[in-house]
Amino acid sequence: MKKKITILGGLLVLQAFLILAISFRSEGLQSHQGMQALLDFNREQVDRILVADGEQRSELKRSGDSWTTAEGFPVEADRVDRLLDRLKELQHGLAVAQTEASLKRFKLSDDEFERRVELYADGKEVASLTLGSGAGARRSHVRAGDGKEVYAVALGSYDLPADIAQWQDKTLLQLEADQVAAVRLGDLTVRKEVVAAEPVEAAEGEEASSEAEPETTWVAEGLSEEQSFDADNFERELNRLLTLRYTRAASDAGLPETIEPVNTITLELADGETRSYEVYHEDAADEHWLKVSDRDEYFEISSYLGGRFCEHLAADKLIEVNEATAEDESEPDAEESSSGAVEGDSAGSETANHHGADEAKADES
């Protein structure tokens, strides 16, 4: 009996060692697998990227040191670089599944998927990745190329937008304030004036400060004495235009042929060139679009910015009439009117007196 107990005890110890060994081996394999790159490509050679979601597709092309859409519209290069870095750094551990049926379960089949990205170099596909269902916070199930192995990696569908508008360079229309010399709003011209600031005197015992920065002011031309210009609001609205980030650019905004711009803003640039912005509001869809003179595309902007450019960056909103001055100028007319009335009353009294005297004489006779 004692011998049997000893044998059974030995078997239990051996079983424990085997379980421990298998566990360590699995962890080692998982760790080793986790260090493997998911995609193998040279990011410097990639010159074309396709991103699709089943309904939309974005095509990006390298043009020298920059990136554009297939139509040649500028793309946000930093976003493309971040995507390539992210794909290059993707690593995987053990496969979650590796059967044909699992591809459909994780939305990784050719017919159903969340995103698919294809990388090309010199016309040849060098890597592809299909992204399917979520696998946790900021993680998704993916498969590389035509393989059936399903992995869970740190990548989301937001990293792979299929809408081309999300790749377009939203800073394309932005200008620095010192590039603008004047602004025309209909008949109103507002010109920049740079005035040298007076140097600030140093207090006793302090070092003299460096030369003061020049001051920039905006002056409206051709105003009458009773008109004043709201320079603060003008500068605020102009800054919105200069730092504009549009929503999307399109070759055709679908605007009615008869539509007229609500407002036209023309910038006179310091280099002698001009740039005009025609602001359109399409009532049916409640969309605001810009047509910029030095671009072929239309640019959709938010309703908020569209409203500001239509209603606030306009001459009638920036010119105010000084009521006190207007009243002062109108007072002489009132005095002349009242004095005329007094003279009229006086003349009427004299006429009435003459008529009264004539009637008295007639009664006496």
The pLDDT score that the predictor gives to residue 31 is 45
The CATH class of 177-198+212-319 is mainly beta
Amino acid at position 124, single letter:
K
Q: Is 107 left (phi over 0), alpha (psi -120 to 50) or beta?
A: left
**65 vs 81: CA distance, rounded Å:** 11
Instruction: Identify the residue whose tokens are 């081309």.
Output: 164
The pLDDT score that the predictor gives to residue 322 is 81
- How many residues does the structure list for the chain? 365
Instruction: Write down the H helix ranges in the chain.
Output: 2-34, 77-89, 100-105, 231-242, 303-307, 315-318, 323-364
Is there a contact between 319 and 258 (Cβ–Cβ < 8 Å)? no
CATH 2.60.40 intervals, the chain:
177-198+212-319
Residue 66 three-state SS: strand
The pLDDT score that the predictor gives to residue 88 is 96
The pLDDT score that the predictor gives to residue 63 is 87
**310 vs 265: CA distance, rounded Å:** 10
Residue 185 three-state SS: strand
The pLDDT score that the predictor gives to residue 196 is 76
> Of all residues in the chain, what percent carry a pLDDT higher than 70?
75
Please, what sign has the CA dihedral across residues 127, 132, 134, 135? Answer: negative
Is there a contact between 241 and 61 (Cβ–Cβ < 8 Å)? no
List the one residue out of 135, 99, 137 whose CA is nearest residue 114.
Answer: 135
**3 vs 7: CA distance, rounded Å:** 6
HSE of 179, CA atoms in CB hemisphere, 13 A: 13
**161 vs 342: CA distance, rounded Å:** 82
Is there a contact between 80 and 46 (Cβ–Cβ < 8 Å)? no
Q: Give the residues of the chain that fall short of pLDDT 50.
A: 19-34, 334-335, 337-365
The pLDDT score that the predictor gives to residue 146 is 94
The pLDDT score that the predictor gives to residue 195 is 83
